[in-house]
Amino acid sequence: MRGDVQLGLGVRARAHLRAHRRRSSRRADGGVPAGLV
């Protein structure tokens, strides 16, 4: 079950990063620190 939880979190994180990158790419100021991405 541990693996399942980790897998679910990984998929969620990946989708979140994708959406976040898309959102930040729209901004010209690039106010998101590289550490978060």
Tens of each residue's pLDDT in the chain, 37 residues: 677 777 788 888 888 878 767 665 555 555 555 555 5
Which amino acid is it at 34?
A
pLDDT of residue 2: 74
Domain hosting residue 36, numbered range:
1-37
Closest CA to 21 of 7, 32, 29, 11: 32
pLDDT for 16 equals 81
Domain count, the chain: 1
pLDDT at 4: 78
Whole-model pTM: value is: 0.35
Q: Is 14 helix (H, G, I), strand (E, B) or coil?
A: helix
Q: What is the pLDDT of residue 31?
A: 58
